[in-house]
Structure 1
């Protein structure tokens, strides 16, 4: 286990990493709208760049597992993402913006899987300590989301690329202060390949459910800020709403480890998916009520906080230390990459410059119903096991 000073640098890395997401995820559609793209083009661009999360994480994780240099891969990803981001300052067409953001995201995918592996090894797999470090990411998301919302009100959407460039540089500098944790004994047999684990029914069912969850997030991730703008909310008010969701996420992360230990991965996932389904229905039909918006943002504690904590624990237990980088990468690429791309693309088709908002969120709720059914059919003992079945 690393000294507390190194854990502090890990916390700061999470803060900056998720702070960057706090700018890009909520406001990228608004930035692209300011550059003149319509809702279909925005959905297509977001889908295309999200596809890089399918190839990227597996490429970097395979290199990390083969070399054992997780930290070096993380640092390289930070450097190349920062250098690639400079191109966005001069990009002004659909395809040039797609290429630039695609390059940034390709290198960006090298960061999180390695950071998760380093953190989990640093805390010896302790879910409670992991959640405490992960809280810094939520704080970063809140701070940058509110700051970006206020700066958009003052300076317009172009200010976003200045914020992102500054955060990327900060993350690169922090990554240089991180240390590789001491190697721990492998807890899995050295026979077999990762493919034997991937093709087990429990993993396929789990990854299908997580993929569907991300498909359901499509309208929210792509168009929530534009939705709030259409409803008459300012950039600051939208930032505060987004931050409320992350505050709820922080509060649940404080208890996530203990909740998973008490109720198990399956029950946590079922509870979270059902609440997320309700959340999308609230946004579809009752979003004009401020109280409903506040309630829906509080449900983010389950939609993201609990599902993420449970998913990370499942991956960590299921793949063991031998395949953990590639296991994390598979989760990121298939759930976040494929699921996110499909969700963004479908949301772009349904949104129709805001006229199809109700249909988009209703479709998201139906997708969550399918995800809930998939998890309900998975055997609880296999989801909780530290070794794969088969």
Structure 2
């Protein structure tokens, strides 16, 4: 049965990231087309992060305390496929749109970290390999990004039909994923706050947040800004696909990179790539530099995602593994997107997108330097990190 398990999870991950490529990458353009302003778009595209800030820790607790984590995953995938329809039904009214986005996000935000918690535990048992399965997520994202960039040029409303169909597929696939227990379903309960006793993880979260703010702004506004600079929807779709493909080597060979270089060196490299990307957006956004920016994407989000997922799976107690993965998502997506999307939208409305990307480049450089200094000064990754001898 191992081959069947790998196939099910590979297709499941492909579907998860196909839904992200369909919905998250283009919903900002949809809101622009229905006549909303940048500040309103910033709020709408960030409300999921606000919901996640409160809901993801609760989903994590439910996952850890349920008989199986899979049951919570099934609930989230099914209701995400239904609630996405609330957004087009809301029309152009801001408050109903906000409520629709919030309810859809309530279920959608839990899917990735729950899937990671389940797959990482299966990986630790030798049933599947997490990095390989996760690669199929980027394959799905790349495929749908190109197709969506072409399709949504003339049929933008199909965002909701395609997202709903894909999420329903995720629900059906989740029925076949091997069961993983919630380790607090019986016995003593472990409080979530105990995770923050790990000072290394707290440092990782602080550095992750500083760079995730920029990624939150990028995910909310890059398509809108790029269109303003004369970049076509087709090129935007190709860029998103390129970004997905550039993640492949980092996922496929992540274990080798992790053991050879360690978290600190991997994330310092990623901080440099983050900063370089924002400089391209700030100083020279053309179709060529747009595609170049997405060629650098493999060195940004996915490295933090994989390092945090691996670290939590290795060093957080088993009773809090689902909660730990949820916290990773809260830090990397929710809090970063709230600040980057909401406040970034307000800043861009006042001073423009170019100025916003320049500020993010400066912040990226300073946070990378700070992470290097703190980690060297206090030698926080030199005893337990795999990459250090």
TM-score between the two structures when normalised by the length of structure 2: 0.90
Counterpart for residue 229 of structure 2:
231
Q: Which residue of 2 aligns with 1:83?
A: 82
Task: State the Cα distance separating 1:34 from its structure 2 match.
Answer: 1.3
CA contact (8 A) 1:142 1:243 kept: yes
- Is contact 1:70-1:180 (8 Å) kept? yes
**What's the counterpart of residue 98 of structure 1?**
98
Aligned residue in 2 for 1:187 = none
Using a 3 Å threshold, how does the CA distance of structure 1 residues 383 and 74 change in structure 2: closer, same or farther? farther
In 1, Cα distance between the equivalents of 2:370 and 2:167?
38
Q: Which residue is 1:283 aligned to?
A: 281
Shift of 1:301: 0.7
Structure 1 unaligned residues grouped into runs of 5+: 185-189
Distance change >3 Å, CA 172–CA 233, structure 1 → 2: same
- Deviation of residue 252 (structure 1)? 2.2
Q: Which residue of 2 aligns with 1:369?
A: 365
Query: Could you tell me how far apart the structure 1 residues matched to 2:262 and 2:49 are?
Result: 31
- Deviation for aligned residue 1:192: 7.1
What does 1:323-334 align with in structure 2 at a 5 Å threshold? 323-334=320-331
User: Does the CA-based 8 Å contact 1:264-1:384 persist in structure 2?
Assistant: no
The DSSP-based 3-state class of the residue aligned with 2:347 is helix
List runs of 5+ in structure 2 lacking aligned partners. Answer: none
Q: Deviations over 1:13-68 (max 9, x none)?
A: 11111111112222111011112111111012222232111122211110111124
Q: Secondary structure at 1:46's aligned position in 2?
A: helix
The 1-side partners of 2:266 and 2:127 are apart by 14
- Kindly indicate whether the alpha-carbon contact (under 8 Å) linking 1:211 and 1:340 is maintained by their aligned counterparts in 2: no
In the alignment, structure 1 residue 129 sits paired with structure 2 residue 126 = no
- Separation in structure 2 between the aligned mates of residue 205 and residue 48 of structure 1, nearest angstrom: 26
TM-score (norm 1): 0.90
Give the alignment's Cα RMSD to 1 decimal. Answer: 2.4
Compare 126-135 and 361-370 and name the one that shifted more. Answer: 126-135
Find the aligned partners of 2:136 and 2:35 in 1 and give their Cα distance: 35
SS at match of 2:319: coil
Per the TM alignment, residue 216 of structure 1 is displaced from its structure 2 partner at its CA by: 1.1
Contact kept? 1:266, 1:380, Cα under 8 Å? no
Match of 1:27 in 2: 26
Per-residue deviation, 1:145: 1.2
Q: What does the per-residue CA deviation read over 1:86-109, in whole Å, with 9 as the maximum and x for residues that have no partner?
A: 222311211111111111111112
